[in-house]
Amino acid sequence: MLESFIAGLPKVELHVHHVGSAAPRIVAELAARHEGHTPVPADPAAVARYFEFRDFAHFIEIYLSVVDLVRDPEDVRILTYEVGRELARQQVRYAELTVTPYSHTSRGIPAAEFCAAIEDARVRAEAELGIVLRWCFDIPGEAGLAAAEETLAIALDHRPDGLVSFGLGGPEVGVPRPQFKPYFDKARAAGLRSVPHAGETTGPATIWDAIHELGAERIGHGISAAQDERLMAYLAEHRIPLEISPTSNVRTRAVASLDEHPLPALRAAGVPVTVNSDDPPMFGTTLNDEYAVAARLLDLDEAGLGGLARDAVEASFLPPAEKARIGAEIDTYVAEHRAAR
């Protein structure tokens, strides 16, 4: 019963990766185009098996092999639109996609053409699918300061209309957050919001660095905050939301099992949390599935799930009027569903 309720619940998605959202069908099509030059299989069923990760490092290796399949602006355009289609199918009204332009410009796609391609897809998706897409341009931390410099330059010199925030992804181990402070300072000065990953595979110190050094307004993952009561209190007091993706955390071995996930402890401490899908096809999940996981972990009924959806709206970078509109749509859906019981 809850599954059908979740399927129709209006939602926003705040932590979903651009390439990581490519469905096996699209990945297989791209692999077929580049057959002989990629380890990625050209069969959708084989792609699903390919997306089985030993640990976080192996996940990054697989992820980058899929990035290698996106080789021209038309690939970018198709991929982006298809991500929008899948999100719209799940009743997502608004999504902030984490996009890593450096991964594509370093492989030969000109920055201006990359930005034009994602914008073309964004405009078409809104017109045809009714979903609003916005971008978070993130630095691939493992590529170092050269990647940070280029990501910032693309964000500021080719700034697409859909760009709202600036992030930092990739491995956390061996990639200290403070070194990226100058780039976040400039991005924030230009009006972009700060949303770095932190505390997924490292401890609370990484989250503290993201807050104090990078001015984080939301934290990607942030699950290790549960290890630090003072940090949880700080997040709760300052209303800094965590973008949590439970299945992702298990699939990358950041958490041993869903039953051991710290989501309940974080929410019980008053930390603002949102539920997201991260790299859904790679992890064999969807945003709807993640809401079902959250319902079980947090013991939520329909009203509780509606509240979780509203929390994500509040944590988004939507203008107040749009937050109110989607929030009202969620409230109406919950009330009508309960009245029909």
Four-residue CA torsion sign, 287, 69, 62, 162: negative
Give the C-alpha separation, 57 to 335, whole Å: 44
**Are 313 and 327 in contact, with CB atoms under 8 Å apart?**
yes
Tell me which amino acid residue 237 is: E
**Are 69 and 108 in contact, with CB atoms under 8 Å apart?**
no
200 assigned to active site: yes
Where do we find the tokens 């970078």? Answer: 317
Give the C-alpha separation, 69 to 203, whole Å: 33
3-state secondary structure of 13: strand
Give the C-alpha separation, 272 to 233, whole Å: 11
Where do we find the tokens 């899908």? Answer: 277
**Are 228 and 201 in contact, with CB atoms under 8 Å apart?**
no
3-state secondary structure of 72: coil
Residue 198's DSSP bridge partners are 221
Give the C-alpha separation, 213 to 207, whole Å: 10
Apex 203 CA angle, 199 and 208, nearest 5: 70
Q: Which residue is catalytic, options 82, 119, 200, 302?
A: 200
φ and ψ at 192, to 5 degrees?
A: -85, 145
Going from the C-alpha of 158 to that of each of 163, 182, 328, the distances in angstroms are 10, 19, 35
- Which residues are catalytically annotated? 200
